[in-house]
Amino acid sequence: MTSITNDLLYDELFIAGEWCPSVSGRRIPILNPATGETIAEVAYGGRDDTRMALDRAAEALPAWARLTAVERARFLRRWYDLILSHIDELAAILTAEQGKPIREARAEIAYGAQFIEWFAEEGKRAYGEIIPTNLPGRRLLTIKQPVGVTAAVTPWNFPMAMIARKVGPAMAAGCPMVIKPASETPLSALALAGLAVQAGVPEGVLSVIPGPGSEVGDELATNKTVKAISFTGSTEVGKRLMAQAAGTVKKVALELGGNAPILVFDDADLDTAVDGVMASKFRNAGQTCVCANRIYVQDGIYEDFISKFNAAVQSMTVGDGLDADTDQGPLINDEAVAKVEHHIADAVSRGATVTTGGGRHGLGGTYFEPTVIVGATSEMAVAQEETFGPLAAVFRFKTEAEGIAQANDTPFGLAAYFFTRDLARAWRVGEGLEYGVVAVNTGSFSYEGAPFGGVKESGVGREGSAHGIEEFLDIKYMCIDGLETE
Ligand code: NAP
């Protein structure tokens, strides 16, 4: 077991202000993917623990919902300040359990914290409306109220930010939340809970239950106490949760898998395009839902792009995320490595060529070489499913219409990118892409004030922006009669 000295390293479940072992006594080792060593043995909850947390959340609901948005914002603001003042400790935990470079971990903490600050303020603007009446003596209005107890189920690739994007708006709206973090990365979630205690967040408003998806996640999706469930993860599990949530007609917000295309048009600025593709493809070793998975390059710029892009990928430094020089850390586990290997082997067997990398890295473990393949085509596995790893597959296309058609040829619709200097093309292509987010001339678009979410099988609902809080609010229509004047 490696010891990391960190005041925010917790290894118990967090239920309504208490740190406690699981009812079953079960624990799970949390591994550092950079070294394979155990960082902590964390209590691993089940259905009983989850029900307990939900009961405590239901008890906390009336008082939390009754507070004014201004009062709730004060708790959230204190929490936000504490997160930022502990960014080093939080980043060290995040990199240790997830593997990403430490500067990316710090960026994730800062990004996640912004959602808590943003929604603290946005809660104050959850306006209702006055509706012009249809009858004299009658007045019509709407108010927005918290949906009740809520739940979050989150993935391992952004162990902090995916939670902050959900808990910020839920708490701001007046909803307690029970969180199930991914089993690989519960430590960041527990550290956040530790800071919530310091911020004075009332007992029961927030609970964190590490545990298997099939037990804790399943309970959250089916328990009638939960009125809204917000999930980020694979499309497969998202579909299952959506079906389960139907049993009690919960509100459902789903941020699911992507298979992001990037189009580089002939008229693009080459350096901007290469920088953008690098930023989108290799962040978090390619383990993000908005990672460029299919890179379509138009004929006229193809050769120049390939040569600059390969050079950029070859200059990357692979290593332990804790080393300041590291551009790419290890992958999360062996399964992730196997998927990248499969996509490369499949593509090569169908005629693609590896131009950079192509195999496991000399550092061993789950380290993988940043890889480029060219000559990718639509029947390859890499075109049809997200790789979730450091494999950049380059396709070639001729016309704008062909590029758009290929980009849309997927059941997914989370994020798409393209590079062009032609304003008319920017509008045409932007409107033609069937995606929830379209980024033009950049590889990074994240901002808490903008709506994030997918269409098609990439999800329902939006996180961030004024829309994000709506997932946790009900609209109540009030019709007040008997107001006749003399
Ligand atoms: P995953 O396997 O779907 O797991 C996500 C969460 O669901 C984990 O907490 C997992 O718990 C839980 N879970 C698994 N099986 C469950 C079940 N039967 N019932 C309830 N919960 C269950 O996804 P992942 O591998 O962690 O994450 C990668 C995926 O997330 C990718 O597809 C990626 O594109 C997507 N993602 C999407 C976004 C977005 O915003 N759209 C952001 C990040 C990632 P355990 O850990 O205990 O299995």
Quick one: which atom of ligand 1 is closest to the CA of 210?
47
Tokens linked to 360: 């496991």
Active site residue 289: yes
The CA 236 to ligand 1 mean position distance, Å, reads 9
How does pLDDT run along the chain (486 residues), one tens digit per residue?
555 778 999 999 999 999 999 999 999 999 999 999 999 999 999 999 999 999 999 999 999 999 999 999 999 999 999 999 999 999 999 999 999 999 999 999 999 999 999 999 999 999 999 999 999 999 999 999 999 999 999 999 999 999 999 999 999 999 999 999 999 999 999 999 999 999 999 999 999 999 999 999 999 999 999 999 999 999 999 999 999 999 999 999 999 999 999 999 999 999 999 999 999 999 999 999 999 999 999 999 999 999 999 999 999 999 999 999 999 999 999 999 999 999 999 999 999 999 999 999 999 999 999 999 999 999 999 999 999 999 999 999 999 999 999 999 999 999 999 999 999 999 999 999 999 999 999 999 999 999 999 999 999 999 999 999 999 999 999 999 999 876
The length of the chain is: 486
pLDDT computed for residue 484 by the predictor: 85
**Contact yes or no for 333/298 (Cβ under 8 A):** no
Pocket flag, ligand 1, residue 234 (CB < 6 Å): yes
Rounded CA separation 223/392 (Å): 41
- What SS3 string covers the chain? CCCCCCCCCCCCEEECCEEECCCCCCEEEEECCCCCCEEEEEECCCHHHHHHHHHHHHHHHHHHHHCCHHHHHHHHHHHHHHHHHCHHHHHHHHHHHHCCCHHHHHHHHHHHHHHHHHHHHHHHHCCCEEECCCCCCCEEEEEEEECCEEEEECCCCCCCHHHHHHHHHHHHHCCCEEEECCCCCCHHHHHHHHHHHHCCCCCCCEEECCCCHHHHHHHHHHCCCEEEEEEECCHHHHHHHHHHHHHHCCEEEEECCCCEEEEECCCCCHHHHHHHHHHHHHHHHHCCCCCEEEEEEEHHHHHHHHHHHHHHHHCCCECCCCCCCCCECCCCCHHHHHHHHHHHHHHHHCCCEEEECCCECCCCCCCECCEEEECCCCCCHHHHCCCCCCEEEEEEECCHHHHHHHHHCCCEECEEEEECCCHHHHHHHHHHCCCCEEEECCCCCCCCCCCECCEECCEECCECHHHHHHHHEEEEEEEECCCCCC
The CA 20 to ligand 1 mean position distance, Å, reads 25
Rounded CA separation 302/322 (Å): 36
Rounded CA separation 194/83 (Å): 10
User: Which of 153, 385, 456, 460 has most ligand 1 atoms within 8 Å of CB, for mutation?
Assistant: 153
Pocket flag, ligand 1, residue 214 (CB < 6 Å): yes
Cα 203 from chain centroid?
Answer: 26
- Which residue's CA is minimally distant from atom 2 of ligand 1? 234
**Contact yes or no for 453/459 (Cβ under 8 A):** yes
Pocket flag, ligand 1, residue 212 (CB < 6 Å): yes
- Which residue's CA is minimally distant from atom 43 of ligand 1? 289
Q: In the beta sheet, which residues pair with residue 476?
A: 143
The CA 144 to ligand 1 mean position distance, Å, reads 30
Rounded CA separation 364/46 (Å): 34
Rounded CA separation 327/107 (Å): 14
**Contact yes or no for 12/19 (Cβ under 8 A):** yes
Rounded CA separation 440/458 (Å): 20
Name the nearest CA neighbour of 123 among 195, 163, 70, 181. 70
Residues 6+ apart with CB under 8 A from 395: 294, 295, 296, 297, 376, 377, 378, 383, 406
Rounded CA separation 246/252 (Å): 9
Tokens linked to 259: 């298979």
Residues 6+ apart with CB under 8 A from 459: 238, 253, 254, 255, 256, 414, 436, 453
pLDDT computed for residue 2 by the predictor: 52
Tokens linked to 104: 């990316």
Quick one: which atom of ligand 1 is closest to the CA of 212?
47
pLDDT computed for residue 343 by the predictor: 98
Tokens linked to 397: 């296309």
What end-to-end distance do the CA atoms of the chain give, in Å? Answer: 80
Quick one: 394 exposed, middle or buried, by C-beta within 10 A (0-12, 13-18, 19+)? buried
Active site residue 175: no
User: Which of 179, 209, 216, 234 has most ligand 1 atoms within 8 Å of CB, for mutation?
Assistant: 234
Quick one: 200 exposed, middle or buried, by C-beta within 10 A (0-12, 13-18, 19+)? exposed
**Contact yes or no for 169/119 (Cβ under 8 A):** yes
- Which residue's CA is minimally distant from atom 18 of ligand 1? 214
Quick one: which atom of ligand 1 is closest to the CA of 235?
32
Rounded CA separation 52/17 (Å): 12
pLDDT computed for residue 3 by the predictor: 56
